[in-house]
């Protein structure tokens, strides 16, 4: 008997600690293995690593990691932080930093490797505490929505 896999999502609230991005990537690997999506792990982990590093290095407040399945065979990696400013490398076609630069290429890499990307600026305070949510999606060869 065939079954339909329901959508799922996980959220991990992270402390301001340099080990937090690595812990979130470990959780991502476990979650994808548990949902029988090991083929997505390398791309999803790269997307998560860049988004988490950006939040950790360029914001001052707390941040959170979210992993969800919008449809079978697809995952969306999202990182929320309290800074409402959207990084230019995430939304523009401006060329990435030169090869010898120490930073400035990560979000361009996210946009190049993801099937789809997006951002939501959360201006309302409340449960979201404002800030922004950057996300990137990848899947098993299916077209992104």
- Give the pLDDT of residue 144: 42
- Give the pLDDT of residue 123: 76
Percent of the chain whose predicted confidence (pLDDT) is above 70: 81
* Tokens describing residue 31: 């979650």
What's the pLDDT tens digit per position in 10-28?
999 999 888 999 999 999 9
Overall average pLDDT of the 115-133 stretch:
81
Position 126 pLDDT exceeds 60? no
The C-alpha angle 19, 109, 55, rounded to 5 degrees, equals 35
Q: For residues 3 and 17, what is the distance between their CA atoms, to the nearest angstrom?
A: 41
Are 44 and 102 a contacting pair, CB within 8 Å?
Answer: no
Largest CA distance in the chain: 55
- Give the pLDDT of residue 3: 57
Average pLDDT over all residues of the chain = 85
- Give the pLDDT of residue 96: 66
- Give the pLDDT of residue 31: 97
Position 38 pLDDT exceeds 80? yes
- Give the pLDDT of residue 145: 39
What's the pLDDT tens digit per position in 71-123?
999 999 999 999 998 888 777 666 667 777 667 677 888 888 999 999 999 87
Looking at beta carbons, which pairs linking 23-32 to residues 24 or more positions away fall under 8 Å? 24/48, 24/52, 24/65, 25/49, 25/52, 27/65, 27/67, 28/65, 28/67, 28/77, 31/67, 32/67, 32/75
CB 12: neighbour CB atoms within 10 A? 15
**Eight-state DSSP code of residue 86:** P
- Give the pLDDT of residue 130: 83
């Amino acid at each position: 008997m065939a079954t339909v896999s329901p959508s799922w999502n996980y959220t991990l609230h992270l402390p301001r600690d340099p080990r937090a991005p690595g812990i979130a990537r470990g959780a991502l690997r476990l979650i994808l293995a548990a949902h029988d999506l090991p083929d997505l792990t390398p791309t999803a982990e790269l997307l998560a690593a860049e988004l988490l590093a950006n939040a950790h290095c360029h914001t001052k407040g707390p941040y959170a990691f979210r992993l969800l399945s919008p449809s079978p065979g697809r995952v969306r990696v999202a990182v929320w932080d309290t800074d409402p400013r959207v990084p230019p490398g995430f939304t523009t076609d401006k060329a990435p930093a030169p090869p010898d630069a120490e930073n400035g290429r990560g979000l361009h890499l996210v946009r190049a490797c993801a099937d789809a990307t997006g951002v939501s600026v959360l201006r309302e305070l409340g449960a979201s505490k404002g800030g922004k949510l950057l996300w990137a999606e990848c899947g098993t060869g299916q077209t992104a929505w």
